Structure 1
Amino acid sequence: MAVQPEILVLIALLAGVGLFGGILSGLLGVGGGIVIVPTLYHIFSYLEIDPSVRMHLAVGTSLATIIPTSIRSVLGHHRRGAVDVPLLKQWSVPLFIGVLMGTAVAVYVRGEALTVVFATVALLVAVQMTFLRHDWKVRDGVPRGVGGALPPVGIGAFSSMMGIGGGTLAVPTLQAFGVPIHRAVATAAGFGLIISVPATIGFIIAGWGNPLLPVLSAGFVSLIGFAIIVPATLLAVPWGVALAHWLKPQPLRWAFAGFLALTSARMYWDLFG
């Protein structure tokens, strides 16, 4: 039986998203979700999946793909000695708490609300990365104590709502605390694993048995999207890691900001255009 051309186009598109997301994961520590979420949203729109579950399915699927991607990315950076292991341990518990909070909210709000959160946070970070000096910082050193737990809690909460690995928020936050960008990118790759595992489980449980979801879905996770995106992403992660240690900091910031701004503009257009 001949394969329909539309299926081939869909497979090629998902594979392309996986490759691009893998490069971004290694390059920017973002887990690829910043590209995967809006792309999946548009693919699901083309497939006429019900709008009430469309964004949740995109976010949940993206979070699932970040699990293997983050493992590959953080191992690659760790071999180069770039991961701040003590900081990773310091932020792990508050990140986890934030993920539980964000996931609990995300699975019950309307899809439009998740889209607004995604587009707004992406735009704010893009502006910060573009217009603030690369050496701008709030203080020298990451804060500790109760006050020091607030940034990772916020990063975990918003990242789980956006379907991203945490690097989108963690990289500029760590830079504001005086962490060099290459170390911030490498450590953020580790945050992705802490964020994506519990958030994915939450999205699977929340969407389980929903009759509006397409076939081959595990809750709000598309198994077809996962199966195609992940191999391509894992293939491309080392390319991104190599680029991250070759590029100078300023071009890395501009590349990061450019992707975020384009993504945000597109999602705002779909909401209000």
Structure 2
Amino acid sequence: MMAGLDPKELLELALLLIATGALSGFLAGVFGIGGGAILVPVFYECFRIAGVPLEVRMPLCVGTSLAVIIPTSIRSFQAHYKRGAVDMTILRVWWLPIVIGVLAGSVIARYAPERLFKFVFVMVAWSAAARLLLARETWKLGDDLPKGPLMRVYGFCVGILSTLMGIGGGLFSNLLMTFYSRPIHQAVATSSALAVLISIPGALGYIYAGWPAAARFPEVAALQLPFALGYVSLIGAVLVMPITLVTAPLGVKVAHALSKPALEVAFGAYLFIVGGRFVISLLGGH
């Protein structure tokens, strides 16, 4: 329990969160993922150490991750936009379906069992890793993104799954755009913009979703994690946010310096590793 942590443990927890912020901001710039794919697993370990009940631990990680992603995604988007790499046409088609998907995901988060969040995280992370590590150039759905209703369905799916996973949507949009023959660098840049659309309403949705949990587990809101709003830990967010703003532009520079194969292999390997953490948890380890 956080109340029972001695000063040394509190300091270690704070340093871990700050280091997490540095790495997540960097990866947000490199991969256009908003940093959530690293924030959620590390927040999970931090909140486990702090004694957060298992029943609310995963949604608390997801909600806090979405809150942290807000400034990171804005900073990452600005850096990519200045380079002219963001496809604004996709944003105009996707913004409304994505926001609707985020709202639907927030409602699900209010009632879903804790294991659902882990299943979604593993399913998406490993699917994306398989695509990036094993796929060939011939593996594609088309020569360009579809028009009409299918594109809007894709947007809705990006919104709802991103909200349940605590990420900025980069995993899904990167997959879709590369399967439709878009360059990985353009996919990364456009994903950074989608993260802005997902993180703001997503974080607000998790504040709403977490109010019933705060009533059932008052220690989440008062003892172990002071200043929590619903499923958003303000302490976690405040420690992580500032450093992400510093490291996100550095990640953007690295992304534009890497070759397409190197970027895809690095992203795929990372997703495989973080997905494995939650497989262990689902098999019985907390």
**Interval containing the TM-score (normalised by the shorter chain):** over 0.9
8 Å Cα contact 1:19-1:232 kept in structure 2? yes
Q: What is aligned with 2:3?
A: none
Q: What is aligned with 1:40?
A: 43
SS in 1 for 2:267: helix
The answer to whether residue 101 in structure 2 is matched with residue 98 in structure 1 is: yes
Deviation of 1:271 after TM superposition, in Å, equals: 1.7
Deviation of 1:135 after TM superposition, in Å, equals: 6.2
1:104-154 C-alpha deviation (Å, 9 max, x unpaired)? 112211111111111121111111111002564211221111122111111
Q: What is aligned with 1:268?
A: 279
Q: Of the candidates 18, 22, 32, which is equivalent to residue 19 of structure 1?
A: 22
In the superposition, relative to structure 1, how do residues 91 and 195 fare at CA in structure 2: closer, same or farther (>3 Å)?
Answer: same
In 2, Cα distance between equivalents of 1:41 and 1:222: 12
1:20-50 C-alpha deviation (Å, 9 max, x unpaired)? 1011100000000000001101111111111
Q: Of the candidates 143, 148, 165, which is equivalent to residue 146 of structure 2?
A: 143
Correspondence 1:187-198 to 2 at 5 A: 187-198=190-201
Q: Which runs of 5+ in 1 are unaligned?
A: none
The answer to whether residue 256 in structure 2 is matched with residue 245 in structure 1 is: yes
Correspondence 1:109-258 to 2 at 5 A: 109-134=112-137, 136-208=139-211, 210-211=214-215, 212=217, 213=220, 214-258=225-269
**Identity level (%):** 39
Deviation of 1:197 after TM superposition, in Å, equals: 1.0
8 Å Cα contact 2:36-2:66 kept in structure 1? yes
**How does the TM-score come out when normalised to structure 2?**
0.92
In 1, Cα distance between equivalents of 2:180 and 2:148: 15
In 1, Cα distance between equivalents of 2:152 and 2:210: 30
In 2, Cα distance between equivalents of 1:231 and 1:94: 30
Pick which of 140-149 and 183-192 moved more: 140-149
1:59-95 C-alpha deviation (Å, 9 max, x unpaired)? 0000001111110000000111111112111111111
Q: Which runs of 5+ in 2 are unaligned?
A: 1-5
Q: What is aligned with 1:54?
A: 57
In 2, Cα distance between equivalents of 1:69 and 1:131: 30
In 1, Cα distance between equivalents of 2:100 and 2:147: 16
In 1, Cα distance between equivalents of 2:9 and 2:149: 52
In 2, Cα distance between equivalents of 1:174 and 1:239: 24
In 2, Cα distance between equivalents of 1:220 and 1:134: 41
Question: How many matched pairs?
Answer: 271
8 Å Cα contact 1:134-1:250 kept in structure 2? no
8 Å Cα contact 1:70-1:192 kept in structure 2? yes
In 2, Cα distance between equivalents of 1:126 and 1:107: 29
Coordinate RMSD, CA, aligned: 1.3
Deviation of 1:243 after TM superposition, in Å, equals: 0.4
Deviation of 1:179 after TM superposition, in Å, equals: 1.2
Q: Look up the equivalent residue of 1:171 and give its one-letter code.
A: N
